[in-house]
Structure 1
Amino acid sequence: MSRRNEDYDEYCDPENPRIIKYDDIVEATQRIRPFVANTPIMAAHTQREFGIYIHYKLDFMQKMGSFKERGILNALHLLPADKKKLGVVMASSGNEGVALSYHAAKMNIPVIVILPMSIPIDKMQRCHLFGAKVIVQGTNLQEAQKYARALARDKGLTFINGRDHPHILAGYGSMALEILETTPFVDAVIVPVGSGGLAAATATVVKHLKPSVLIYGVQPEAMPTFFNSLESDEPIQLPLQTNMADAVSVNSVGCNAYATAKPLLDKMLLVKEDWIARAMLHLLEREKFVVEGAGACPLAAIMGNLVPELKCKNVVCILSGGNVDNILLNRCMERGLASEGRLVIFRVGVRNDPVSKSNLMSLISSGGYNIHRHFQDNSWTEGEEYYVEMKMVCEAKGLAHALELKRTIERVYPCTSVFENEPFNDKRTCPCYIKKAS
């Protein structure tokens, strides 16, 4: 049986990966420049806080909220006229599907978008809004891609791998050209990594024009697919683990992206969930940017103190997208607050009478804490006393203030209090932790 009759994509062939060339990126940039925003680069308001001269590339300001439309536009413009008339099909985890739906509609190209079942409802609705036919299929992106390739073969449509097609990757590289045009003094660029396309394109441009500039890739510790592939010296697959950086949480790397990026990346970094949440919170509070978890990964690496060698250097952090749904955003903000000790989550048993409950509330308020929310769980008996479990979420000024609340509650309620957020659920937590965590 011919390979072309199997589940085969000639543009993304692991046995014959296509290396992205600098000239391809220059041509793509000229092709798409009239249709994409040359997004600004802004200096961080908190450079002294980190000891690094941070500059944010604000690509979440693209029309569809992410860098993905750079690649989508290049791929659509390179389609032959007959292929445009028949239409395209793409599997997506969200951002690329939204970008494809919007720009294909403007070019009168029929579109089918295959979305995995885990896709946020908001992104699915946006694809519908722009006129795409949406099919939900598969539990992850890889399964959705397999279905999309089969559908393209059956209906004679053009399948575009939205994360690894060479034309997609070439379009991504336009951002790197903008970075070097705007910040020629840059010493390092930190790039969020999922399948690896953006990192591959960025490294191709930067290492061609300024080889001394460092290129660091960063991805969630929960899904270290690209990191582990580099460690293993070959592309690998991992079981999918959900986390707040959903746009870069993929269980396999792009063969073209991997082959292109492998010799060019200076370092790969892994960031914890709490760091991503803190980075999202920081960007919202201090910079007034709403950035999704994937886009916050570069700052998370800095906040996690993974790049001490970049102290006093000019560093560009690519904020790649801002498409985070409201429910997830609220969860991320609360986790960021909890990670910084500004939200304290605990439960405590008190006697089931008005005076005991009032004493608990008075104890909390007298320490300068604000009760964010609370609720009462079922009663239970101990001897002749009736108790209830009060579940509390309190606002504190910071880690030191939060630890003070923990010590106070544990002193007054020595046998019934349990603190849930890290590091407060560790009975060995002591005041010395403040120095370690700062």
Structure 2
Amino acid sequence: MSRRNEDFDENCDPECPRILRYEDVMDAATRTRPFIINTPVMAAHTQKDFGIGIYYKLEFMQRSGSFKERGALNVLHHLPLDKKKLGIVMASNGNEAIGMCYHAAKLNVPVIVVMPITLAIDKMQRCHGYGAKVVVQGNNLIEAQKYARALARDKGLTYINGRDHPHIIAGYGTMALEILEVMPFVDAVLVPVGSGGLAAAMATVIKHQKPSVLVYGVQPEQQPTFFESLQNDEPVSLPLHTNVADAITLTQIGVNAYHTAKPLLDKMLLVKEDWVTRAMLHLSEREKFIVEGAGACSLAAIIGNLVPELKSKNVVCLLTGGNCDNVMLVRCLERGLSAEGRLVKFRVGVRNDPKSKAVFTSLIAAGGYNIHRHFQDQSWTDGSDYYVEFSVICETKGLAHALELKRTIEKAYPCTSVFENEPFNDKRTCPCYIKKIT
């Protein structure tokens, strides 16, 4: 059987990968520049906190909320007129579809988007709002892509791989051109990595114009697909492990992206989920930016102290997107507060009478703590005395203050208190732990 009749994408062929050229990016810039926001590169308000000259590329300010529309617009401009009239099919985890639908609506190009069932409802609704037809199919992006290719063959439409199509990747590279225009003094760029298209595009441009600039890829350690591919010297597939950086949580990487980025990337870094949520919290509180987990991975590498060699250097962190639904955003910010010891969850047994309950709450108030949430289980009993179990989330001033809360509660209720979040569930916890996470 001919490969043309199989489940095959000629633009993303593992046997014949298409390496991105600098000229491809320059062509994409010419096509897209009038229609894409040249987002600011802004100095961080908190550079002294990290000892690094941090600058943020604010890609969440794009109209669709992420950098993905750079690639989407470029691939749409390359489509022949007859294919534009018929329409396109793509599969997406959200951002690439939103960017594609936004610009396709302006160009009157019909779009069918296949999305996995795990995707947030608000991202589906945004694609609907731009006039696209949304099909929910598959448990993950790989299954959704397979269905989208079949749909394109059956209907005679153009299938676009929203993460690895050569024109998509070329569009991403326009971001690097903008950075080098306004920051010729940059020393390093930190790039969130999923399938690898953005890292490949950034490295292609930066290493062409200024080879001395370091390009680091950053990926969540729960899903190190690109990292493992570089380690194994070939693209690999990994089981799906969900995490807060859902936009770059992929089981497979792009073949074009891999072969382009492999000789150009200086380093790949893996970040913990707590670092990502702390980065989101930091950006929200100190910079007033709402950034999704994937977009915050670049700053997470700095928070996790993975780049000590960049001290006193000028570093650009790509904040690639801000399309975080409200439910996930609240969870991530609270996770970040917990990771910094500013939210502490514990359970404690208190005698079930008004005086004992008043003593408990007064103890918390006297220490300067604020009860963020609490739940009272009236049916909990232990031995001959009747206790009520309080499940409490307390707001503290920081890790040292939180550890003092732990000591206070354990002293007052030595037999019934249980602290649930790290490191407070460890009896050996002492103030020296503070030094280990900063």
Question: For the superposition of Structure 1 and Structure 2, which TM-score range results when normalised by the shorter chain?
Answer: over 0.9
Distance 2:53 2:258 in 1: 29
Aligned residue number for residue 134 of structure 2: 134
Aligned residue number for residue 179 of structure 2: 179
Shift of 1:385: 0.8
CA RMSD of aligned residues (A): 0.7
Distance 1:192 1:381 in 2: 50
Indicate if the aligned counterparts of 1:352 and 1:379 stay in contact, CA closer than 8 A: no
Question: 1:180 is matched by which residue type in structure 2?
Answer: L
Pick which of 420-429 and 91-100 moved more. Answer: 420-429
Aligned residue number for residue 338 of structure 1: 338
Aligned residue number for residue 407 of structure 1: 407
Distance 2:106 2:5 in 1: 32
1:113-164 per-residue CA deviation (whole Å, 9 max, x = no partner) reads 0000111111000000110000000000000000000000000000000000
1:22-58 per-residue CA deviation (whole Å, 9 max, x = no partner) reads 0000000110000100000000001111000001000
Question: 2:3 is matched by which residue type in structure 1?
Answer: R
Is there any run of 5+ residues in structure 2 with no aligned partner, and where? none
Shift of 1:392: 0.4
1:74-99 per-residue CA deviation (whole Å, 9 max, x = no partner) reads 00000000100100000000001111
Shift of 1:379: 2.2
Distance 2:246 2:18 in 1: 26
Aligned residue number for residue 76 of structure 1: 76
Aligned residue number for residue 97 of structure 1: 97
Distance 2:306 2:341 in 1: 21
Distance 1:260 1:222 in 2: 24
Aligned residue number for residue 226 of structure 2: 226
Residue 298 of structure 2 aligns to a residue in which SS? helix
1:167-197 per-residue CA deviation (whole Å, 9 max, x = no partner) reads 0000000000000001000000000000000
Question: 2:314 is matched by which residue type in structure 1?
Answer: N
Distance 2:356 2:301 in 1: 45
Distance 1:322 1:334 in 2: 17
Aligned residue number for residue 169 of structure 2: 169
Distance 2:238 2:23 in 1: 33
Distance 1:372 1:430 in 2: 24
Q: TM-score, normalised by structure 1?
A: 0.99
Distance 1:346 1:382 in 2: 18
For 1:102-113, list aligned pairs within 5 A. Answer: 102-113=102-113
Aligned residue number for residue 33 of structure 1: 33
Say how many residue pairs are matched: 438
Displacement over 4 Å in runs of 4+: none
For 1:1-400, list aligned pairs within 5 A. Answer: 1-400=1-400
Distance 1:380 1:170 in 2: 61
Distance 2:339 2:434 in 1: 13
Q: TM-score, normalised by structure 2?
A: 0.99
Question: 1:199 is matched by which residue type in structure 2?
Answer: A
Question: 1:221 is matched by which residue type in structure 2?
Answer: E
Residue 57 of structure 1 aligns to a residue in which SS? strand
Question: 1:345 is matched by which residue type in structure 2?
Answer: K
Distance 1:333 1:68 in 2: 24
Question: 2:427 is matched by which residue type in structure 1?
Answer: K
Residue 26 of structure 2 aligns to a residue in which SS? helix
Residue 184 of structure 2 aligns to a residue in which SS? coil
Distance 1:200 1:323 in 2: 23
Distance 2:348 2:112 in 1: 53
Distance 2:383 2:373 in 1: 30
Distance 1:383 1:172 in 2: 65
Distance 1:92 1:251 in 2: 14
Pick which of 199-208 and 410-419 moved more. Answer: 410-419
Distance 1:353 1:60 in 2: 52
Distance 1:208 1:75 in 2: 23
Aligned residue number for residue 424 of structure 1: 424
Question: 1:68 is matched by which residue type in structure 2?
Answer: K
Distance 2:35 2:381 in 1: 68
Distance 1:382 1:240 in 2: 42
1:200-245 per-residue CA deviation (whole Å, 9 max, x = no partner) reads 0000000001001000000111111100111111101111111111
Shift of 1:339: 0.7
Distance 1:128 1:307 in 2: 41
Shift of 1:378: 4.1
Residue 148 of structure 1 aligns to a residue in which SS? helix
Residue 392 of structure 2 aligns to a residue in which SS? strand
Shift of 1:431: 1.5
Question: 1:283 is matched by which residue type in structure 2?
Answer: L
Residue 259 of structure 2 aligns to a residue in which SS? helix
| Identical positions, percent | 75
Shift of 1:405: 0.2
Indicate if the aligned counterparts of 1:278 and 1:339 stay in contact, CA closer than 8 A: yes
Distance 1:154 1:378 in 2: 60
Indicate if the aligned counterparts of 1:279 and 1:299 stay in contact, CA closer than 8 A: yes
